[in-house]
Amino acid sequence: MKTKAFIIILFTSTTIFSQKFEGLAKTPPMGWNSWNKFACQVDEKLIRETADAMVSSGMKDAGYQYINIDDCWQGKRDSLGFIHPDPERFPSGMKNLADYIHSKGLKFGIYSDAGWKTCGGRAGSRGYEFQDAMTYARWGVDYLKYDWCNTEGLNAEGAYLTMREALYSAGRPIVFSICEWGGNKPWDWGKSIGHLWRTTGDISNCFDCIVDHGSWKSWGVMQILDMQEGLRVHAGPDHWNDPDMMEVGNGMTNNEDRAHFSMWCMLSAPLIAGNDLRNMSESVTNILTNKKVIAVNQDKLGIQAFKHSAEDSLEVWYKPLSDNEWAVCFLNRSTTPKSFEYIWKQKQIEDNFSSRELNVKDIEYNILDLWINNNLGTTNNNLSYEIPAHDVLMVRLIPIP
C-alpha cells in the first residue's frame, strides 16, 4: 500500500514597501514654478516660452533645471480613471511638452494633490495615485509637487507614503515634493518619503507682512524665515526643508529680492523661481544667476545655516561649507540703513549639529563679498559696514593657507 506524503507550506503575509528614488536631490533642487506669478493662468505656450527663457537668460547655466507646471493644467479623467491635460490649454499633450523641455536640456515637473480636488478645484489624485504615477512616468515627468487641499480624513504621512509607493512602482525616477504646509510636521517623517517638504503655508510677494485671506494666511519673506527656527537638524542631501518658492522679481525692491535670495541660499532651500522669466529686469536676472551666492546653496555638505545673533534688527547667520569655509550673512530687517563694526576675533563659532568650528583666533580667513565680488580684507581686522534697509551683506570666509 502506497502512502502519500502531504507537505503543508505556510506562508506568512508581510507587506513589502518600496522606497523613494534615492540621490535625485543631493543638493537643493533649482528650477521654476508657475504658481506665484501666473496661478491658474497656465498653458503650453507659456511653459515653452519659459523653458526658452531659462536657457537664454543664463539660468540654466547657473544651475536651474526644472520647469514645473503648478495647478490648473488638469482636464478630466477618462472612463478608466486616467487623467488628461486640459485640451484647450495643452492641446499638444504633456508628452510633447515634456519632450520639448527635455530637448532644452531641462527637466519637467508637474503638480497634483493628495485630496479629491486640487487647491484650484481640478481633479486631485486621491484614489488614483497609481494611475497618476503611471501617467506621469509615461509623459516623462521628472518632478512632482504634491499639495494638501481637500484632504479631509486623510493621514498626511500615509497619504504621501501612498504616492511615494506609486511613483516608485511606476519606475521613473521623479523628485517628490511634499507640499503639506508643515501642519503635520513633515520634517519628522518626510526623509524616507520625499526629497523636500514644505515647512510653512504659502509665501507672499512682500518682505515683511502677513496677508489675511479670511480662512487662511500667506506670509512675507521674514515671517517664513522666522518659521524655520529649529528645523535645520532635519535637512541634508536628498531631504530638504522647503520654505516655499521664491518671490524674486514679483514686486519687491531690488534690496528685498537680494535679501530674500540670499537667505534662501543660506537655508539650503530649494531655489524654485516664481517670476516671469520671459520679462526679467537685468537686476532680477543678476540676482537669480549669481553663481557665487548659488554655490553657497549648492554646497555639497548640505548644512543649513543657523542664526548666531540678532540685535537691533540686524541678524548674523552662519553656514558651514566644504573645505573648511563658511558663509556669513548679515541681514538688515529694518526699514533704515544699519551701520556696524564686527570684531571677528571676539567670535567663537561652534555648530554642534555639524561638528564644525570657526576659530578666527588661530586661522585667518579672507572675506569675499559675494554680491559685488570684492575682497573685504581678512578676519584679522574688524569689519565696518553699512547695510541698506531690507538688504544683506553676504560673505564667504576662505582659510588662508
Q: Indicate whether 131 belongs to any domain.
A: yes
Are residues 330 and 311 in contact, defined by beta-carbon separation less than 8 angstroms?
A: no
Q: Which of the pair, 9 or 141, is modelled with greater confidence?
A: 141
Alpha-carbon span 91 to 75, nearest angstrom: 11
- H or E segment at 138? helix 129-139
249 plus 346 within the same structural domain: no
Q: Whole-prediction pTM value?
A: 0.94
Alpha-carbon span 167 to 156, nearest angstrom: 17
Of the residues 147, 238, 242, 351, only one is catalytic, namely: 147
Q: Indicate whether 7 belongs to any domain.
A: no
Of the residues 70, 132, 142, 202, only one is catalytic, namely: 202
220 plus 75 within the same structural domain: yes
pLDDT at 291 over 90: yes
Residues ≥6 apart with Cβ < 8 Å to 182: 197, 198, 199, 200, 201, 227
Q: Indicate whether 9 belongs to any domain.
A: no
pLDDT tens digits, residue range 322-339? 999 999 999 999 999 999
pLDDT at 17 (0 to 100): 58
Based on the residue annotation, tell me whether 369 is a catalytic residue of this protein. Answer: no
pLDDT at 13 (0 to 100): 34
Alpha-carbon span 254 to 262, nearest angstrom: 12
pLDDT at 366 over 60: yes
Query: Residue range 113-118: average pLDDT?
Result: 98
Q: Indicate whether 11 belongs to any domain.
A: no
| Helix, strand, or coil (residue 251) | coil
Q: Indicate whether 2 belongs to any domain.
A: no
Q: What is the CATH number of the domain that holds 337?
A: 2.60.40.1180
Q: How confident is the model at residue 18 (pLDDT cuts 50, 70, 90)?
A: confident
Q: How confident is the model at residue 348 (pLDDT cuts 50, 70, 90)?
A: confident
201 plus 267 within the same structural domain: yes
Chosen domain end from 267, 297, 327? 297
How many structural domains are present in the chain?
2
284 plus 348 within the same structural domain: no
Are residues 275 and 64 in contact, defined by beta-carbon separation less than 8 angstroms?
A: no
- Grid coordinates given for 42: 497656465
Length of the chain: 401
Based on the residue annotation, tell me whether 147 is a catalytic residue of this protein. Answer: yes
pLDDT at 267 (0 to 100): 98
Percentage of the residues of the chain whose pLDDT score is greater than 70? 96
pLDDT at 130 over 90: yes
285 plus 347 within the same structural domain: no
Query: Residue range 33-39: average pLDDT?
Result: 98
Q: Which of the pair, 19 or 68, is modelled with greater confidence?
A: 68
151 plus 262 within the same structural domain: yes
pLDDT at 11 over 80: no
Q: What is the CATH number of the domain that holds 186?
A: 3.20.20.70
66 plus 156 within the same structural domain: yes
Chosen domain end from 297, 317, 345? 297
pLDDT tens digits, residue range 167-226? 999 999 999 999 999 999 999 999 999 999 999 999 999 999 999 999 999 999 999 999
Instruction: Provide the domain limits for residue 248.
Output: 30-297
321 plus 255 within the same structural domain: no
| Residues linked to residue 310 through DSSP beta bridges, in sequence order | 315
Are residues 351 and 305 in contact, defined by beta-carbon separation less than 8 angstroms?
A: no
Query: Residue range 122-147: average pLDDT?
Result: 98
Q: Indicate whether 22 belongs to any domain.
A: no
